[in-house]
Amino acid sequence: MTDRPDKDTIVSSAGRIAPFIHRTPVMTSEILNQHSGNKLFFKCENFQKAGAFKSRGAINAILSLGKEQKIHGVATHSSGNHAQALARAAAIAGTKAYIVMPSTAPKVKVEAVKAYGGLVTFCEPTLSAREETLESVIAQTGAHEIHPYNDYRIMAGQASCFMEMNEQCGPLDVVLCPVGGGGLLSGTALAMHYFSPSSKLIACEPEGADDAFRSFRSGTLIPSGETNTIADGLLTSLGNLTFPVIQELVSDIVTVSDHFIIEAMKLIWSRMKIVVEPSAAVPLAAILQGKIALSGAKIGIILSGGNIDLDKIPWYGTY
């Protein structure tokens, strides 16, 4: 797919992936509504297959491939949810998934990839080592690369999340979406553009990995330098395909501190009784930190995933 996904592409992607993903529930909480003074609608992608929205884009990308394209498998580098999602999607499509992971990746994530049948190659924990190792794996295997977010097929798959939300919640005033590389954000932006053009989309980003915020404000793609945040799913930088969509269709980007990310995460666990990972708590953190100046609004919040090492819960200070 070489063009930005249009309405038809988004609709047909949603139909194609539907048998392989969950239509996740939307939850509400009276206590959090009172707390925020708004009506909050939480889209629970923590209940998605493989524990995160990434399953949507990964399966869409693989199902987009012709028989010849996928005959030698697919490949990516990822230490996180895309790795698991791609391994699962490849198994469904009957092909191999070569996953390059940093040697520092948590054992629990490596095990999850292997449980889906993913073939793991370890490398040094630097971006250049990851890219070089991936190139070499592709050279050896002939596998087709599927980037975690800078890919229109991924973007079209992630768009299905807001399509469901729109059907489940009715018209929302605002949608809050976490941003890392921008796959979920750009997919959500396109879906909102086509299906709920009067809703506003605000991206929420950790202060310690604020390349999207800086790029958005400056109008130029500025990759992350060093990152420092508990939101391990949001360390990546925007790509040349995701950034223009975000620039055009996102209303604003706000940043939040790790303090509020942890507070938001704990509030979701204790009040809603669901497990979300730090990255998923970033939008509620923006509300808690006073970055979303609204009251009485219908606010959609995308809880992006629930994959967290339960032996490293952040408020125990062991993260």
What does the binding site for a copy of itself look like in residue numbers (CB under 8 A)?
Answer: 25, 46-47, 51, 266, 269-270, 273-276, 306, 310-311, 313, 315-316
Closest distance of CB 318 from a copy of itself, Å: 8
9 Cβ contact list (under 8 Å, min separation 6): 1, 156
Q: Which residue's CB is nearer to a copy of itself, number 143 or number 261?
A: 261
Closest distance of CB 308 from a copy of itself, Å: 8
Closest distance of CB 57 from a copy of itself, Å: 19
Residue 319 identity (one-letter amino acid): Y
191, two tokens: 């879906």
Q: Which residue has the tokens 């109008």?
A: 219
Q: How far apart are CA 282 and CA 255, in angstroms?
A: 9
Is 233:109 a contact under the CB 8 Å cutoff? no
Q: How far apart are CA 10 and CA 64, in angstroms?
A: 12
Q: Which residue's CB is nearer to a copy of itself, number 47 or number 98?
A: 47
Closest distance of CB 16 from a copy of itself, Å: 21
Closest distance of CB 46 from a copy of itself, Å: 5
Is 2:189 a contact under the CB 8 Å cutoff? no
Q: Which residue's CB is nearer to a copy of itself, number 46 or number 229?
A: 46
Q: Which residue's CB is nearer to a copy of itself, number 174 or number 280?
A: 280
Burial class (CB in 10 A: 0-12, 13-18, 19+), 134: buried
Q: Which residue's CB is nearer to a copy of itself, number 245 or number 284?
A: 284
Cα–chain center distance at 249? 17
